Amino acid sequence: MIVYTRRLPNKNFGTSRESSMLQSFRSFSSLGALLALAAGLGDSTASAATASAGPPAVPAQVRTVQPENVPIVLDAVGQVQGSKEVEVRARVTGILLKRLYNEGALVRAGAPLFQIDPAPYEIALSQAQAQLAQERARQEQTRREAGRLKDLAEQRAISQKEFDDAVSARKLSDATLQAAEANVRQAELNLSYTRVTAPVSGITGRIARSEGSLVTAGQESSLLTSIVQVEPVWVRFSLSESDLAKVPGRKLAGDAKTDIRLVLPDGSLYAQKGRLNFAATQIDPRLATQELRAEFDNPRVQLLPGAFVRVRITAGEYKNVFQIPQSAVFQTEKGHFLFVLDSENKATIRPVQTGEWSGQNWLVLAGLNPGDRVVLDNLLKLRPSVLVSPQTPDANPAAAQKAPPPDAAPSAK
């Protein structure tokens, strides 16, 4: 090349430059081919290594399960009612003069509520007392007469008939006196009825008759108001036959083992425990339920009659069962199944026998052993023999992942 340049120093300068560029291009082309070949060999080696290592492990939350005793909890909707619900009625006829209480107030037994015009009954009492005084005077006269005639009859100064008539008059006077005394007591009672008092302690209702109204005993107009006793209160509820089947003995008993609590509308638990005080002796054929009633102390009048509450009954417990989140259990036409890890962290399908729900968990009665590791999530990516990377369950897990549909889940032999 040097010789060529020397022989044609001017004419072939451009040709020499082109030759140098061509050689450089050929050198770069050879280097690129080597690099491409090296890259291809590297990719093939990585692919072969990946193929020999197998698919990556599937991350999933895993829980080691142990058997436990789980309480049998039943929930029912109940309604609060007063332990006593009394209609306050007028027992005598008259004009309603005054209302002596505040509507909706808490009153004690014997507290005055209404005043009916007492004047007619005061007059009736005075008349009865006057009649009683007359009969007492007549009785004294008949007794004196009978005593005087007795001596004369013994002396045979009068006939026996006259003496017998005197004795009969005395007895008749005694009976009339008793009737007069009863009339006085009746008049006093009627007068006392003009002041209407609370028959029981409780919350008063709205007034049914305003002042100035004529109330008539024994008729609808005699209703004045009502009182509901709220300490204690009763809660009525019902349980279905399927719920009763979970209870030992298939019935509730009012003993210490039956714990009855109330869940208020805001979700809080009522502080006082209940006592079962009524259980129907037959199942309602229309609703297939048993009617029940519990009594609760209500010192702060927190429970008002008519309110709806949730009754939570704890009756006995399930022995040696496993609690498994509902999201970890999937179902096919052959039953319920779980994914359980073996010693190599590979997923295996385990058929299980489930019972009832306990909150967000299934109660597994059979099919698991103490210490089994159950997969809780990522079920859609699992198949038998798939390697799993166990993760510790979160303290507050996110929304539960749905289990695979029956057609996606592998069948268990």
118-147 tens-digit pLDDT:
999 999 999 999 999 998 998 888 888 888
Residue 112: its pLDDT value, please?
Answer: 94
Write out the E strands in 191-307. Answer: 195-197, 202-204, 214-215, 223-240, 258-263, 275-279, 289-296
Whether 93 contacts 216, CB under 8 Å:
yes
Structural domain spans, the chain: 2-53, 60-68+319-391, 73-81+227-318, 118-193
> What H or E segment, with its residue span, contains residue 391?
strand 388-391
Considering only 95-109, 244-258, 383-397, which range has the smallest mean pLDDT?
244-258
User: What global pTM score does this model have?
Assistant: 0.61
How is domain 73-81+227-318 classified at the CATH fold level? Elongation Factor Tu (Ef-tu); domain 3 (2.40.30)
> What H or E segment, with its residue span, contains residue 146?
helix 119-154
pLDDT band at residue 199, thresholds of 50, 70 and 90?
very high
How is domain 60-68+319-391 classified at the CATH fold level? 2.40.420
Q: Is the pLDDT of residue 34 over 80?
A: no
Q: Distance between CA atoms of 376 and 353, rounded to whole angstroms?
A: 17
Identity of the residue numbered 276? L
Q: Is the pLDDT of residue 177 over 50?
A: yes
Residue 255: its pLDDT value, please?
Answer: 62
Residue 38: its pLDDT value, please?
Answer: 38
Considering only 253-257, 362-366, 384-388, which range has the smallest mean pLDDT?
253-257
pLDDT digits (tens, 9 = 90+) for 329-360: 988 888 999 999 998 999 999 999 988 887 78
Q: Is the pLDDT of residue 328 over 50?
A: yes
pLDDT digits (tens, 9 = 90+) for 231-290: 999 999 999 888 888 877 777 766 656 789 999 988 889 999 999 989 888 888 898 898
Most confident of 242-256, 357-371, 389-403: 357-371
pLDDT digits (tens, 9 = 90+) for 37-91: 334 444 444 444 444 456 788 999 999 999 998 888 888 999 999 999 999 999 9
Residue 53: its pLDDT value, please?
Answer: 54
Cis peptide, bond prior to residue 112, ω within 30 of zero: no
Structure tokens at 395: 């303290």
Residue 23: its pLDDT value, please?
Answer: 46
SS3 of residue 369 by DSSP: coil
Which strands sit side by side in the sheet containing 195-197, from one edge to the other?
195-197, 112-116, 94-99, 214-215
What is the residue-averaged pLDDT of the chain?
81
Residue 173: its pLDDT value, please?
Answer: 87
Mean pLDDT of 222-232: 93
Superfamily for domain range 118-193? Helix hairpin bin (1.10.287.470)
The C-alpha angle with vertex 253 and arms to 250 and 259, in degrees rounded to 5, equals: 105
Residue 193: its pLDDT value, please?
Answer: 95
Residue 405: its pLDDT value, please?
Answer: 44
Q: Is the dihedral of CA 87, 92, 97, 98 positive or negative?
A: negative
